[in-house]
Amino acid sequence: MDEMKPEIQTQQNDAAHASLVSRYQAPGAAWQWLICVLLFGAMAVSSMLLMQSLTGSTLPGCGAQTAFDCDSVLASRWSKWLGLPVSALAMMAYVTLLVLLQLGNTGSIAKKRLAWRLIVVIAVTIILSAVWFVGLQVVMKQYCLYCMIAHGLGALASIFLLVFAPIGQARVTADEPADAMMIPPGRPLMKWMSLSLLLVAVLLAGQWLGKPAPTVVQPAVGGGGGF
Q: What is the pLDDT of residues 72-89, one digit of tens each?
A: 676 677 888 888 889 999
214 secondary structure, DSSP code = P
For residue 183, the cross-strand partners are 167
φ/ψ of residue 80, rounded to 5: -130, 155
CA–CA dist 139, 47 (Å, integer): 25
pLDDT of 71 over the 60 cut: yes
Confidence of residue 140 (pLDDT cuts 50, 70, 90): confident
Residue 112: name the closest of 7, 16, 20, 9 by CA. Answer: 20
> Residue 90's pLDDT band (boundaries 50, 70, 90)?
very high
Q: Is the pTM of this model over 0.85?
A: no
Residues in contact with 136: Cβ distance below 8 Å, sequence separation at least 6, in sequence order: 76, 78, 227
Distance, CA of 160 to CA of 35 (rounded, Å)? 7
Q: Which has more pLDDT, 188 or 115?
A: 115
Q: Is the pLDDT of residue 225 over 60?
A: no
Which positions ≥6 away from 98 have C-beta within 8 Å?
36, 39, 40
Element (H, E) at 147: helix 145-164
128 or 208: which leads in pLDDT: 128
Check: CB of residue 193 under 8 Å from CB of residue 124: yes
**Residue 166, φ and ψ in degrees, nearest 5:** -80, 70
Task: Return d(Cα 132, Cα 170) in angstroms, integer.
Answer: 33
Contact 94, 39 (CB under 8 A): yes
Q: How many CA atoms lie within 13 A of 102 on its CB side?
A: 6
Per the prediction, the chain carries an average pLDDT of 81
Distance CA 77, CA 213 (A): 6
The 10s digit of each residue's pLDDT in 142-170 is: 788 888 999 999 999 999 999 999 988 87
Q: Which residue has the higher pLDDT, 75 or 198?
A: 198
